[in-house]
Amino acid sequence: MSFPTIRMRRLRQSEALRSMVRETRLDIKDLIYPLFVIHGQDKRLPINSMPGICQFSVDRLAEEVREVDSLGIPAVLLFGLPEHKDPYGSTAWDDNGVVQNAIRMIKDQAPGLQVITDVCMCEYTSHGHCGQLEEDGYVNNDATLELLSKEALSHARAGCDIVAPSDMMDGRVAAIRKTLDDHGFINMPIMSYSAKYASAFYGPFREAADSAPQFGDRKAYQMDPANVREALREVWLDIEEGADIVMVKPALAYLDVIRAVKEQFGLPTAAYNVSGEYSMIKAAAACGWLDEERVMLESLTAIKRAGADMIITYFAKELAVLLNA
């Protein structure tokens, strides 16, 4: 049968009808909110390129965490900006580091909030790359695995709920899994940045995390934006190494990758709605060029529709307020 018997517009006549037949629904429980923790006291520093997002010292982070928890957002993702950096990023595994202290504070202030920690070296190294460098500037993959494992173990000891390696070194999930297991953290989940692309959409994050490389770029370890079959191979290898949750980053320009990963593997899948995706919407809305709320909802719905079970997004608080209304 076809028109006029079938009229697709019948179920679009009112918001009530549209809601009844809606296929994809955003939920607060889908959301993970990124937080940037800095050294010092009484600091709440706005990030110019990311309106509404700030860097917090641990003491000022407490208020932000209580607000996130009160909104019903289930998890946060921590990034640390240390006081000192060196070529090896040694402050990454300092038991009194900014992330480690933030974990303990969050577990005190909001014990039910899931604390996910970014495991990478770029915020901690003086050169800004994601691992230990060789003399020619190439990142030494295998030497970096030990550093990442030490960082993940330090986060686990501080009380985090999930570790999330984002470095894109080969074999890092297996190395971290072994280290965690050897020290009794057999139940610590790993959320792996499995398909992390060398994307221009990370621009504002460089300011937020003070992590811009001092030379070159990250194309020798992050993925080529043109590749999807390679992404599926990366995800498969991470699953084989023990990843419990896999991730695609960025999200909006890689919806096809999210869909392919979810359909092929069926594992819990996260997607990172990255800084550039957030800032573009904020900037266009500030110019009056689009409706910020509608575009935010449409964008996040697209990520969920593509297959993401979890969405890491700087819009988490704004969306939670809308969903709670």
pLDDT tens per residue across span 147-189 = 999 999 999 999 999 999 999 999 999 999 999 999 999 999 9
123-144 pLDDT, tens digit per residue, is 889 887 888 888 788 889 999 9
pTM: 0.95
Active-site positions?
A: 196, 249
Decide: 54 and 36 in contact? Cβ < 8 Å.
yes
- In angstroms, the CA 221 to CA 141 distance is 9
User: φ and ψ at 175, to 5 degrees?
Assistant: -65, -45
User: φ and ψ at 183, to 5 degrees?
Assistant: -110, 20
- In angstroms, the CA 22 to CA 17 distance is 9
Quote the pLDDT of residue 205.
80
Residue type (1 letter), 285: A
Q: Tens-of-pLDDT digits for all 325 residues of the chain?
A: 799 999 999 999 999 999 999 999 999 999 999 999 999 999 999 999 999 999 999 999 999 999 999 999 999 999 999 888 888 889 999 999 999 999 999 999 999 999 999 999 888 898 878 888 887 888 899 999 999 999 999 999 999 999 999 999 999 999 999 999 999 999 999 999 999 999 999 988 877 766 666 776 778 889 999 999 999 999 999 999 999 999 999 999 999 999 999 999 999 999 999 999 999 999 999 999 999 999 999 999 999 999 999 999 999 999 999 999 8
DSSP 8-state secondary structure symbol assigned to residue 167: S
- In angstroms, the CA 159 to CA 153 distance is 10
Decide: 44 and 54 in contact? Cβ < 8 Å.
yes
How many Cβ atoms are within 10 Å of 180's Cβ, its own excluded? Answer: 22
